[in-house]
Amino acid sequence: MKEIKAYIHNRRIADVIRALKESGHCNANPDTGCRNLTVTPVQSPLKAADAGEQHYSIELAEAVVNESKLELICDDDQVDELVDIIEHAARTGQADAGWIYVSGIVAAIPIRGNHG
């Protein structure tokens, strides 16, 4: 199993999620396809391509850009296709529109709802 993390411009995240769902790999079946698809808002202290994207964060005491961090778990044989879907849907036309990271999962243990 692999974990894919992608840091994506906020204006592209909806298109990325839609492309993942339309691919058929990310669906409601927890036994196949990508699992645990989550999106978290994040702040990046990187220089924005457009000055309108950057603002000052009181908490971090510096200029930041709001982005979305997408995370999902998938089978090894799905990584290339899912990364390709994310990469194409996340494109902004800028030279640097974000990053995609792939990591290996050592173990995956379900949390069961029933008591022993």
pLDDT of residue 56: 64
In this prediction, residue 34 carries a pLDDT of 81
The model's pTM is: 0.81
Predicted local distance difference test score (pLDDT) of residue 70: 97
End-to-end alpha-carbon separation of the chain, Å?
Answer: 28
Give the whole-angstrom CA distance, residue 8 versus residue 69. 6
Indicate the domain borders of the chain. Answer: 2-42+68-104
User: How distant is the alpha carbon of residue 8 from its chain centre?
Assistant: 7
* pLDDT value of residue 19: 95
Per-residue tokens: 16: 């990325």
Would you call 32 helix, strand, or coil by DSSP?
A: coil
Task: Give alpha helix (H) positions in the chain.
Answer: 10-22, 79-90
pLDDT truncated to tens, each residue of the chain (116 aa)? 999 999 998 889 999 999 999 988 887 666 667 888 999 998 877 666 566 666 665 665 677 778 899 999 999 999 999 999 999 999 987 777 789 999 999 998 888 877 65
Quote the CA–CA distance of 48 and 102 in Å, as a whole number.
24
pLDDT of residue 99: 92
So what CATH class is 2-42+68-104?
alpha beta
Q: Taking a C-beta distance cutoff of 8 angstroms, is the pair 27, 33 a contact? A: yes
